[in-house]
Amino acid sequence: MLRAGRAGRARAFRTRRAQARGATSACHCRDRTGSRVNCVSCPLRRVLSNHAQCARRCAIDRLVLWNIDLTLIDVGKVARDAIADAFNRVTGRPLAALPQLAGRSDTEIFFESLYLNDVPTGAAEDADLLARYCHALESAFAKRHDDLVREGRLLPGAHDAVLAVAGLPGVVQTVLTGTIKPNAVRKLAAFGLDSILDTQIGGYGSDAYPRGSLLLEVRRQASEKYGAPIEETPAVYIADTARDVEAAAIGGARSIAVASGREMAAELDEAGAEAVLVDLADTAQVLAAVDRLTRPMEANANR
């Protein structure tokens, strides 16, 4: 029997270490083109010749969270129609007054809609009512899949930006959104973003927590899944409202604000965003901002 040489033993050690860190064949490592790579079974240093520490990538070095609506995509009309449909189905009333959607979760939107439309609710009924609404909203959205593609749009540069960030060393990307999880995944899938982002983790509107707390929870999830200490993993939240900027600060993340939503660049700057972009069209600019704010030394120096 042939004995493994020194290099072979080192490779085997790195593989075992990656497995011990929880890396599986379903890990989210990617090569520079954004294609998924199987870290555990790939012959380390052979498949990724430009990526000498394949096993190392299974441990997360930085976490990037994307907001979805008006940061990556615009599906406003379809979302409004689905909300009105689900509201009517659950309450038996038309949605005559629609609250502000930007920066709000589906849960917040529902409760505010109840108030604005004078629907009487007992506190004891709320949990059940919310569960039924979320179920109705999922069905209403599924029914509109074709509209999503036909009437919705990717915002300029969004796909290229997410793909470019996927090439940063040790990065894991996910979402922090007010949309309930099944609908968030549906939105991402409609525009080819679901395979680049890790939606097993992430913060969604199905969880009725303030967004800052949710961000902290996503950092915890990422830490658990990828085996990296939460406090040592720089995180950045890329989103389009001042409320998102505030959530990033509460959740211990850096913030990049994109003025592609309802709020102007000056407002986002005023809210304390650490980088403000007009949109995502300049891929190099997005990549540089993410890299700067999540580089371990830079992230720590600014805390």
Least Å from the CB of residue 244 to Mg ion? 7
Least Å from the CB of residue 213 to Mg ion? 18
Least Å from the CB of residue 67 to Mg ion? 4
Among the listed residues 106, 240, 263, 274, the single contact to Mg ion using CB under 5 A = 240
Among the listed residues 61, 69, 106, 198, the single contact to Mg ion using CB under 5 A = 69
Q: Mask of contacts with Mg ion, 94-133, x by CB under 5 A?
A: ----------------------------------------
CA atoms within a 13 Å half-sphere pointing along the CA-CB vector of 114: 18
Task: Provide DSSP, 183-245.
Answer: HHHHHHHHTT-TTTS--SS-B-TTS-S-HHHHHHHHHHHHHHHHT--GGGS-EEEEESSHHHH
The reply on whether position 67 binds Mg ion by CB under 5 A is yes
Tokens of 40: 């555990």
- Region from 60-68, 88-96, 148-156, 191-199 binding Mg ion, contact rule CB under 5 A: 60-68
Among the listed residues 27, 55, 59, 70, the single contact to Mg ion using CB under 5 A = 70
- Region from 39-47, 194-202, 234-242, 265-273 binding Mg ion, contact rule CB under 5 A: 234-242
Least Å from the CB of residue 87 to Mg ion? 20
d(C-alpha 121, C-alpha 109), whole Å = 15
The reply on whether position 74 binds Mg ion by CB under 5 A is no
Identify the burial level of 161 via C-beta atoms within 10 angstroms of its C-beta, where 0-12 means exposed, 13-18 middle and 19 or more buried. buried
d(C-alpha 170, C-alpha 34), whole Å = 13
The reply on whether position 79 binds Mg ion by CB under 5 A is no
Tokens of 241: 């409202």
Handedness of CA 206, 209, 210, 215 (dihedral sign): negative
Ramachandran angles phi, psi of 149, nearest 5°? -75, -40
Nearer to Mg ion, 138 or 240 (CB): 240
Task: Provide DSSP, 129-164.
Answer: HHHHHHHHHHHHHHTTHHHHHHH-EEPTTHHHHHHH
Applying CB under 5 A, the site for Mg ion has a residue count of 4
Nearer to Mg ion, 85 or 240 (CB): 240
Least Å from the CB of residue 175 to Mg ion? 11
Instruction: Provide the binding-site residues for Mg ion, judged by CB under 5 A.
Output: 67, 69-70, 240
